[in-house]
Structure 1
Amino acid sequence: MSQIESLDLSHNNLSASFSVAYNNLSGKCPQKITQFSTFDENSYQGNLFLNCTLPLLTPKPPLRPTTSDDGDDDGEDGFIDMESFYASSGVSFIMVLLIIASVLYVNPYWKQAWFYYVGVTITGCYYFVVDHLPVPTRYKVWELRI
């Protein structure tokens, strides 16, 4: 491909990056319009005889703010350390379950009241579903009047 002068790859739905770095190219770089405006200077580097007047790259801001060096996340910019959030939520959930289980184990009156409440709640949910969900017509019981 040392004799190639042009390359047309149109209508191929390509989604690749463009780099002609270190190819000993010479001449003038393409104008920074349309697709060529998305290429940075790294795409042309290493070509000593290529005349490119590209603007200097400006670093893109990070998607998330970096945490401070002291490890203290005081909630700046409204971000939460999600690992700590999930860990503390999980530990709190397990602690609540253990406390409820230990109280019910120690106090038989509360255990009886708890199981009564759970039974009433389950029964209430069952009758709510039975009363409020539509029954398909093939399951309806038709009343015969004689």
Structure 2
Amino acid sequence: MGVLVDYFTADSEQLARQALSNGPEAVRLPYVDCKGWINELDTLVAELSGRDLSELGDSEVVVDDGEAAGVERMPPEVVAALAGVDDTRLREYAEDELLEAYEVERITALRDLAREAGRLSQGMYRWSCV
């Protein structure tokens, strides 16, 4: 059994809570599908930004069904650091880590989602389900 993970944006925690049952796609929120690929965004952001993981803050549980699904709000420091990653750094990271094209596309999509969250003053969230 694996963990399903999507990262998404929403303009309120109330709206983010609606993603609990079936994920952000079901409630038509902008998201990046990371199922089977990345669970801990803060670790990726620390690697991309060169910052220490301890500088990036902790996610905050928004809602949890107590069994299998939950929604967490990503720390503002993580979202800002991810949004600040430029294309040159993405290419360098991809080369250093020998990433596949689909992995670079997902990282780029996550970065763009973070930028959109900042532009619209929205939160960025992680939906996960076992």
Larger RCO of the pair (alpha carbons < 8 Å, separation 6+): 2
TM-score class, shorter-chain normalisation, is under 0.3
User: Which one has the bigger strand percentage?
Assistant: 2
Q: TM-score w.r.t. structure 1 length?
A: 0.16
TM-score, normalised via structure 2 length: 0.18
Structure number with bigger Rg: 1
